[in-house]
Structure 1
Amino acid sequence: MYESRSEGLISRRRFALRLLAHLLLAMAFIAFSLLIGVLGYLWMEGDAHWHDVTLNMAMIASGIGPIMLPETIHGKVFLALYGAYISVVFVAVLGLVIAPILHRILHVFHLDEEP
């Protein structure tokens, strides 16, 4: 996917398209994770409204925390597991977004070296 040390630096346009592709993939991963949270919470806590649950899952994903606590044991277990899952998603998405930027920086540093 990325160019090797022996290849030259890609154009700014190709780099921008690569960065856009990584951002779109990250946004899709976040949207999928929020959808999992909303559907799981609605399944565990059947009496909640979808818009309140969406806000609750977005608050958990942002690190602020839940605004409404579940009433059932299953809902509490789900929320604990979702909190652990969303922490891993945060690290993965951060790596996905930063990877092309760090690769370009490191590639620029190695352009002057002989292979």
Structure 2
Amino acid sequence: MLPRFEKKHHALLSWPAFVRRMLLSALIGLLLVLISLAVGMLGYHALEGLGWIDSFLNASMILSGMGPLWSPRSEAGKIFAGIYALYSGLAVLAIAGITFAPIVHRLLHSFHADEADMNDSANVHRKKP
């Protein structure tokens, strides 16, 4: 599901292919954020009896790292909130890594690419005479 990156002895990826890779990574990151948000909303709604809007607000605040607005009352809600907070801290780092990996890879790959590889990548879409 994740895009495969070229090896250091391969030519630098063309711009259209790089843009497609960036869009795929951003889409995967967005999907992971939406799934994480949905899990948080379901947990707060089911365990604490919050409405959907309040569940969304609380889950999004924890997922963004700002902290909860609602203090859980039940023991199950407190355990869920703690686990969700721990998960959210790791999820944000992982999602950022997935989303920005193509940029970091391209930057590092450009340091290792020969000048001939750079020219090959730029000339991929030009027609030969």
**TM beyond 0.5:** yes
Matching of residue 7 in structure 1 with residue 10 in structure 2:
yes
Q: Given the alignment, which residue of 43, 48, 51 partners 1:45?
A: 48
Identical pairs, percent: 39
Give the number of aligned pairs.
Answer: 112
TM-score using structure 2 length = 0.82
Larger gyration radius, structure 1 or structure 2: 2
Structure 2: gaps (5+ residues): 116-129
| Distance in 1 between residues matched to 2:108 and 2:73, nearest whole Å | 50
Partner of 1:16: 19
Structure 1: gaps (5+ residues): none
Structure 1 residue runs of 4+, over 4 Å off?
A: none
Task: Determine if contact 2:65/2:88 at 8 Å carries over to the other structure.
Answer: no
- Paired residue secondary structure (1:71): coil
- Paired residue secondary structure (2:107): helix
Query: Offset of 1:98 from its aligned partner?
Result: 2.0
Partner of 1:63: 65
Q: Given the alignment, which residue of 102, 110, 122 partners 1:108?
A: 110
Deviations 1:59-95 (A, max 9, x none): 1111111111111111011101100000110110111
Cα root mean square deviation, aligned: 1.2
Task: Determine if contact 2:8/2:113 at 8 Å carries over to the other structure.
Answer: yes
